[in-house]
Chain A
Amino acid sequence: MKAVDAWRLSAIPYSEMAFRSILQNSSNMWWGSFGRGSSEASGREDLVKRSLRIARFDKLIVAIFVTVAAGAPFLPQVLGASYGISASVTLSLAISFAFIVLYGVQTLSSFVTSGPSPLLSTLPLLQNDVSFVNLLSFVRTSDYLVVGSVACQVFFVSLVTGSVLSGLFTLLAGAMNSAIGVSVALWLSSVFYRNILRSKEGKRGGALRFVLLLAWGVVVLGIGVLFAAAGYLIPLVQSVLTNPNALAGSILSLVYPFSLGISDGAIAHGFTPSGVEEIAFGATAVYLLIAVVASKWSMSSVASFPESASIAPGAERAHDTSVPLRKPVAAYVVKDLRAASANLPSAFLFVLPAFETLVVLLMRVYLPSLGALTLLVAMTLGGMVSLILPLVLVSSEGTGFDFAKTLPLKIRTIVFSKASIATAVFLPAVVVVLVESLLKPLTSPFLTMVPLASILAVAAASLLEVRLFLGFAPSGRATFALQEFGRMAAGAGVVLLPGVIYATLYLLTFNHILAAAAMIAIASIELIGVVEFVRRSDLTHP
């Protein structure tokens, strides 16, 4: 089969895979939400069209974002900074690597669990051709992203250094980086989706899931730190890498992707007899070998997915059928937690509010006491992040929501269960603030009211969001995004309002007691109002 024909044919299994991935993990997409199920035939058709549109748009948006992010570390040199490019190349490769892994894990789940297209295997095609088409459909998952980031890196290195050789080395480094990144994403997907989801949840499976969750969190937060501290990191790392007396330089020259950055810098700016660059070139050769091996492994894995995906799970067999019982709301909460935690990115969202709150507090660690502004910002940010949860929980229902629709369920049972989870996820953020307030004096004792009011506001916002997400069916292309964002904006307004009231009253009266009391009062009114709204609007079933 000709490569052009194979590439054209690969669009079909890729579209199918993108569709299945979105159905499985709709919450991962930057705006996707399919929680209303698909029982309406017209809705199913709309779902297919919308999924493919979102898949293309999602890939394009992520690719643009990653391309910009990969170019950002070169900004100092473009603006005239005099130091070399080693640190910038290193940071750029690290950022694009992290994004390739993150995006890959999101999009490759369907590829790993059921193969790109079992249908291909049934057609009269040679096995090699089927494997080749599968490989190309796999390439399509991250083509924009890889091409965009590598082209951006090559462009900036060539622009800044004026060296063709350095530009070519950057092309090689970018290709190696992408090959290793895609292979890591594929491996992570395989480990998570095949070994864990396809087997009985045991202690080992639980531990592995937790480790992967932490690894995921480290990568996500790592990207945040890289962005936040890029301005300080680049000159600092550059000085370490180019200091011939620093032991750190020698050690880092062995570490990926520093080896590639140092080697690129040496090609662009000339060698210095420090030994660091020689080590870096040696390490780069080893990483090149690793990239080749990783690529071969990826190709062979992808090529064999149609067969390997159908391997029966080797899990323990059950011997009893005892089924525990819970209250309806608790049963829905447990079901939601199980469904959402089966997905790496959405599982991480359960710890994100506490992380975000901690980040805000750490950013103000130099302050001697904990003030109203810090608390309001920390709690509001944690609350805002918690509001992603209702969307994720509604989305993670997927097509299974049709099963819930056949049950005698009141809509408020679903609303209260999902809002309970979102509020509970916010509680660790409150704990973080309360622990911080034990370590640092508060500017006013009444500031302890702020986290408590935030809990009420987050509960109210979560209830409102879930009710809105379950209540109205979107129609049309333009209105869809507006409605999704409109629902989240309504929740955000409910979270923000008590804090705004606190800030406004304090600025007018400089009285923490009055401001805190008003904040509690407004948050309570919000919660009572939304509960009443949910209760009254419970006239229809899901």
Chain B
Amino acid sequence: MVDALIEAAGLTKKFGSFGALNGLDLRVMPGEIYGLLGPNGAGKTTTLKITAGLIEPTTGSVVVSGFDVTRDPIHAKSQIGYVAETPILYESLTPRELLEFEASVRGLAKDSMNRRARQLAEAFEVVSIFDLPIATLSMGTKQKVAIIAALLHQPPILLLDEPLNSLDARSNRILKELISLHVQRGGAVLFSTHIMEIAQRLCSRIGIIFGGKIVAEGDLDQLRARAGEKDATLEEVFMKLTNEASEVENIVRTLRESFFDDEGR
């Protein structure tokens, strides 16, 4: 049996009295794009941050490529490339300085790293801004720099938190291709999004996260079967499985009545 590249077991995370994660389990296999799908505040970002070693779980564990993220963070982090929802970068540095810092700390081989940096910078059209302070770049360009930093060391595991949000169409397409190539080479991707179309098109398996735990998991057909909705879209399946369908209908009805009332006045 092939070992999972990411294995989270019994993850909980409390912020004060609020439980962001409440016993989350997931496994991501080599060659798999696992989409973490859920509404705002469901625990997607917390799951990714714990897996990236940014924060520690309250209980439970995450093992990446056989390394426990909490107990052996140095080896675990060498296996991961992480792109945050809002780029986290040293903004007073330039992209060149940031990559120099990262590549040096990771101990990458100079020639191959430089070749890769050039390919990625050209692909995302950021060569010209290589010497500008990151603070001066647009959000989309910062996101591109963050993606290049995450891919620079060719990690087997990519953790992508809503990575397509700020990207233009061209970069969007390139990133999707890069993700496909990554999994074709045996890598794994844990991908967070709340956009159904992206999850449906890109992910080989989807975990629906709600209230800090995975409430359903599988490919689209398995999720449809679970929801008892044959031929349903992912959005419909999602609404059904998270019990939000009736609630959303009520809200829409109330809003419609309120809007028409306002127009009547």
Measured CB to CB, the residues of A under 8 A from B are 39-42, 113, 197-201, 312-313, 315-328, 330-332, 334-335, 338-339, 342-343, 398-400, 402-410, 413, 540-541
Interface contact A400-B110, CB-CB below 8 Å: no
In angstroms, how far is the closest chain B Cβ from the Cβ of A23? 10
Interface contact B127-A42, CB-CB below 8 Å: no
In Å, the complex CA distance between A404 and B101 comes to 9
Interface: B54 (CB within 8 A)? yes
Measured CB to CB, the residues of B under 8 A from A are 15-16, 20, 46, 49, 52-55, 73-78, 80, 82, 84, 88-94, 96-108, 110, 113-114, 117-118, 121-122, 127-133, 135-136, 149
In Å, the complex CA distance between A322 and B80 comes to 23
**Residues of A close to B55: CB separation below 8 A:** 39-40
- 12 other A-B residue contacts (CB within 8 Å) besides A325-B104, A339-B93: A40-B55, A41-B15, A197-B135, A200-B132, A320-B127, A321-B122, A323-B113, A335-B101, A400-B91, A406-B53, A408-B75, A408-B77
Interface pairs (6), CB distance under 8 Å: A40-B55, A319-B127, A328-B105, A331-B101, A332-B101, A335-B90
With contacts A325-B113, A338-B97 taken as known, whether A407 is within 8 angstroms of B121 at the C-beta atoms is no
**Residues of B close to A398: CB separation below 8 A:** 90-91
In angstroms, how far is the closest chain A Cβ from the Cβ of B78? 4
With contacts A403-B88, A408-B74 taken as known, whether A323 is within 8 angstroms of B114 at the C-beta atoms is yes
**Residues of A close to B100: CB separation below 8 A:** 323-326, 331, 334
With contacts A197-B92, A200-B132, A399-B88 taken as known, whether A325 is within 8 angstroms of B127 at the C-beta atoms is no
Interface contact A328-B107, CB-CB below 8 Å: yes
Contact of A326 among B94, B104, B149 (CB under 8 A): B104
**Residues of A close to B122: CB separation below 8 A:** 321
Interface contact A325-B110, CB-CB below 8 Å: yes
Interface contact B90-A318, CB-CB below 8 Å: no
With contacts A313-B136, A410-B74 taken as known, whether A321 is within 8 angstroms of B104 at the C-beta atoms is no
Q: Is the interface of A mostly helix, strand, loop or mixed?
A: loop
**Residues of A close to B136: CB separation below 8 A:** 197-198, 312-313
**Residues of A close to B78: CB separation below 8 A:** 408
Interface contact B15-A321, CB-CB below 8 Å: no
Interface contact B118-A321, CB-CB below 8 Å: yes
**Residues of B close to A402: CB separation below 8 A:** 54, 84, 88
Interface contact A325-B52, CB-CB below 8 Å: no
**Residues of B close to A198: CB separation below 8 A:** 132-133, 136
In angstroms, how far is the closest chain B Cβ from the Cβ of A233? 39
**Residues of B close to A327: CB separation below 8 A:** 104
**Residues of A close to B130: CB separation below 8 A:** 318, 320-321
**Residues of B close to A39: CB separation below 8 A:** 49, 54-55
With contacts A335-B101, A408-B78 taken as known, whether A323 is within 8 angstroms of B96 at the C-beta atoms is yes
* Least CB separation from B77: chain A residue: A408
In angstroms, how far is the closest chain A Cβ from the Cβ of B173? 21
Interface contact A42-B103, CB-CB below 8 Å: no
**Residues of A close to B121: CB separation below 8 A:** 321
Contact of B128 among A317, A342, A404, A406 (CB under 8 A): A317
Interface contact A322-B105, CB-CB below 8 Å: no
**Residues of A close to B110: CB separation below 8 A:** 325
In angstroms, how far is the closest chain A Cβ from the Cβ of B148? 9
Interface contact B106-A408, CB-CB below 8 Å: yes
Interface contact A403-B89, CB-CB below 8 Å: yes
* Least CB separation from A312: chain B residue: B136
* Least CB separation from B14: chain A residue: A42
With contacts A321-B130, A406-B54, A409-B105 taken as known, whether A541 is within 8 angstroms of B73 at the C-beta atoms is yes
In Å, the complex CA distance between A313 and B128 comes to 12
**Residues of B close to A409: CB separation below 8 A:** 74, 77, 105
In angstroms, how far is the closest chain A Cβ from the Cβ of B211? 16
**Residues of A close to B52: CB separation below 8 A:** 406
**Residues of A close to B103: CB separation below 8 A:** 323, 325
* Least CB separation from A41: chain B residue: B15
In Å, the complex CA distance between A281 and B102 comes to 61
**Residues of B close to A319: CB separation below 8 A:** 127-128
With contacts A41-B15, A406-B54 taken as known, whether A318 is within 8 angstroms of B131 at the C-beta atoms is yes
Interface contact B114-A339, CB-CB below 8 Å: no
In angstroms, how far is the closest chain B Cβ from the Cβ of A320? 8
**Residues of B close to A200: CB separation below 8 A:** 94, 131-132
**Residues of B close to A312: CB separation below 8 A:** 136
**Residues of A close to B73: CB separation below 8 A:** 408, 540-541
In Å, the complex CA distance between A202 and B222 comes to 59
Interface contact B20-A318, CB-CB below 8 Å: no
Chain B CB count within 10 A is highest, among A41, A197, A316, for A41
Interface contact B104-A338, CB-CB below 8 Å: no
Interface contact B99-A323, CB-CB below 8 Å: yes
With contacts A41-B20, A313-B132, A319-B127 taken as known, whether A406 is within 8 angstroms of B99 at the C-beta atoms is no
Interface contact B92-A315, CB-CB below 8 Å: no
* Least CB separation from B98: chain A residue: A403
**Residues of B close to A322: CB separation below 8 A:** 114
**Residues of B close to A413: CB separation below 8 A:** 105
**Residues of A close to B127: CB separation below 8 A:** 318-321
* Least CB separation from B120: chain A residue: A321
**Residues of B close to A320: CB separation below 8 A:** 118, 127, 130
* Least CB separation from A311: chain B residue: B136
In Å, the complex CA distance between A328 and B108 comes to 11
**Residues of B close to A404: CB separation below 8 A:** 105
Contact of A331 among B105, B133, B149 (CB under 8 A): B105
Q: Closest 9 A-B residue pairs measured CB to CB?
A: A331-B104, A400-B90, A318-B130, A541-B73, A342-B92, A317-B128, A402-B88, A408-B77, A408-B78
In Å, the complex CA distance between A343 and B135 comes to 13
In Å, the complex CA distance between A319 and B96 comes to 12
* Least CB separation from A399: chain B residue: B88
In Å, the complex CA distance between A324 and B114 comes to 9
With contacts A325-B110, A403-B88 taken as known, whether A541 is within 8 angstroms of B53 at the C-beta atoms is yes
Contact of A407 among B106, B129, B131 (CB under 8 A): B106
Interface contact B113-A316, CB-CB below 8 Å: no
* Least CB separation from B97: chain A residue: A338
With contacts A325-B103, A408-B75 taken as known, whether A42 is within 8 angstroms of B132 at the C-beta atoms is no
Contact of B105 among A315, A408, A540, A541 (CB under 8 A): A408
* Least CB separation from A44: chain B residue: B15
* Least CB separation from B148: chain A residue: A321
**Residues of B close to A342: CB separation below 8 A:** 92, 133
Interface contact B77-A321, CB-CB below 8 Å: no
In angstroms, how far is the closest chain A Cβ from the Cβ of B145? 11
* Least CB separation from B74: chain A residue: A408
In angstroms, how far is the closest chain A Cβ from the Cβ of B24? 16
Interface contact B53-A405, CB-CB below 8 Å: yes
In Å, the complex CA distance between A113 and B137 comes to 12
In angstroms, how far is the closest chain A Cβ from the Cβ of B67? 10
Chain A CB count within 10 A is highest, among B54, B74, B90, B127, for B90
